[in-house]
Amino acid sequence: MSLTEGHTIWVHNKLVVGTWAAVTAVDTLDYAHQNQIDQQWSIAHHGFHLTIPDNYTTFYLYLEAITSTQDTKTRGPFNNNQDFCWHFHGSLNDWDVYAC
Protein backbone atom coordinates (compact mmCIF):
# COMPACT_ATOMS: atom_id res chain seq x y z
CA MET A 1 0.00 0.00 0.00
CA SER A 2 1.40 3.40 -0.91
CA LEU A 3 1.46 6.25 1.57
CA THR A 4 -1.41 7.98 -0.26
CA GLU A 5 -3.90 5.09 -0.13
CA GLY A 6 -6.44 4.84 2.67
CA HIS A 7 -6.49 6.54 6.03
CA THR A 8 -4.78 5.97 9.36
CA ILE A 9 -6.17 5.50 12.85
CA TRP A 10 -3.56 6.67 15.38
CA VAL A 11 -3.84 5.22 18.89
CA HIS A 12 -2.10 6.49 22.04
CA ASN A 13 -1.94 3.94 24.86
CA LYS A 14 -1.83 6.03 28.06
CA LEU A 15 -2.91 3.15 30.32
CA VAL A 16 -1.08 2.28 33.54
CA VAL A 17 2.34 0.72 32.95
CA GLY A 18 2.09 -2.95 31.95
CA THR A 19 -1.45 -2.70 30.52
CA TRP A 20 -2.10 -3.81 26.95
CA ALA A 21 -4.52 -2.04 24.60
CA ALA A 22 -5.89 -3.35 21.30
CA VAL A 23 -8.00 -1.91 18.50
CA THR A 24 -9.73 -3.89 15.77
CA ALA A 25 -11.26 -2.20 12.72
CA VAL A 26 -14.14 -4.04 11.03
CA ASP A 27 -16.46 -3.21 8.15
CA THR A 28 -19.63 -4.48 9.88
CA LEU A 29 -20.59 -5.01 13.51
CA ASP A 30 -19.62 -8.63 13.99
CA TYR A 31 -18.40 -9.47 17.47
CA ALA A 32 -16.42 -12.46 16.21
CA HIS A 33 -14.28 -10.04 14.13
CA GLN A 34 -15.15 -12.00 10.99
CA ASN A 35 -14.94 -8.84 8.86
CA GLN A 36 -11.63 -7.57 10.21
CA ILE A 37 -9.87 -4.81 8.26
CA ASP A 38 -6.89 -4.33 10.58
CA GLN A 39 -5.94 -5.04 14.19
CA GLN A 40 -3.05 -3.71 16.28
CA TRP A 41 -2.03 -3.54 19.94
CA SER A 42 0.63 -2.17 22.26
CA ILE A 43 1.77 -2.22 25.84
CA ALA A 44 1.19 0.97 27.87
CA HIS A 45 2.93 4.16 26.81
CA HIS A 46 3.55 2.93 23.27
CA GLY A 47 1.42 4.10 20.37
CA PHE A 48 0.29 2.19 17.32
CA HIS A 49 -1.78 2.70 14.21
CA LEU A 50 -4.21 0.89 11.93
CA THR A 51 -4.66 1.43 8.20
CA ILE A 52 -8.09 1.52 6.56
CA PRO A 53 -7.71 1.02 2.78
CA ASP A 54 -9.71 3.20 0.38
CA ASN A 55 -11.94 0.29 -0.70
CA TYR A 56 -13.73 0.51 2.71
CA THR A 57 -16.16 3.44 2.77
CA THR A 58 -17.17 2.98 6.42
CA PHE A 59 -15.82 1.06 9.40
CA TYR A 60 -16.31 0.41 13.13
CA LEU A 61 -13.75 0.09 15.91
CA TYR A 62 -13.55 -2.38 18.79
CA LEU A 63 -11.33 -0.97 21.55
CA GLU A 64 -10.19 -3.04 24.51
CA ALA A 65 -7.75 -3.34 27.37
CA ILE A 66 -6.57 -6.92 27.00
CA THR A 67 -7.72 -9.20 29.90
CA SER A 68 -9.81 -6.38 31.42
CA THR A 69 -13.07 -7.16 33.19
CA GLN A 70 -14.58 -4.14 31.40
CA ASP A 71 -16.47 -4.76 28.18
CA THR A 72 -14.93 -4.02 24.82
CA LYS A 73 -15.98 -0.57 23.62
CA THR A 74 -17.45 -0.09 20.14
CA ARG A 75 -17.22 3.14 18.16
CA GLY A 76 -18.60 3.98 14.73
CA PRO A 77 -19.62 3.84 12.03
CA PHE A 78 -16.98 6.19 10.65
CA ASN A 79 -16.67 7.40 7.08
CA ASN A 80 -13.26 6.54 5.67
CA ASN A 81 -12.57 10.09 4.49
CA GLN A 82 -9.96 11.24 7.03
CA ASP A 83 -7.42 10.07 9.60
CA PHE A 84 -8.60 9.50 13.19
CA CYS A 85 -6.91 9.53 16.59
CA TRP A 86 -7.91 7.79 19.85
CA HIS A 87 -6.29 7.55 23.26
CA PHE A 88 -6.75 5.05 26.09
CA HIS A 89 -6.59 6.28 29.70
CA GLY A 90 -6.92 4.45 33.03
CA SER A 91 -5.96 1.08 34.42
CA LEU A 92 -6.73 -2.53 33.52
CA ASN A 93 -10.23 -2.66 35.02
CA ASP A 94 -11.06 1.06 35.00
CA TRP A 95 -10.33 2.55 31.60
CA ASP A 96 -11.91 4.58 28.83
CA VAL A 97 -11.03 5.73 25.35
CA TYR A 98 -11.39 9.21 23.90
CA ALA A 99 -11.04 10.88 20.52
CA CYS A 100 -7.92 13.05 20.30
Which residues, listed in sequence order, are joined to residue 51 by a DSSP beta bridge? Answer: 8
Arithmetic mean of pLDDT, 27-54: 91
Q: Does residue 70 carry a pLDDT above 60?
A: yes
Query: What are residue 84's phi and psi, to 5 degrees?
Result: -130, 160
> Does the residue 29 lie in any domain?
yes
Phi-psi group of 67: left, alpha or beta (phi > 0 → left; psi -120 to 50 → alpha; rest → beta): left
Distance CA 87, CA 32 (A): 24
CATH code of residue 86: 2.60.40
> Does the residue 1 lie in any domain?
no
Q: Whole-model pTM?
A: 0.91
Arithmetic mean of pLDDT, 67-88: 97
pLDDT of residue 34: 74
> Does the residue 28 lie in any domain?
yes
Give the DSSP per-residue string, 31-85.
TT-TTEEEEEEEETT--EEEEE-TT-SEEEEEEEETT-SSPPEEEEEEESSS-EE
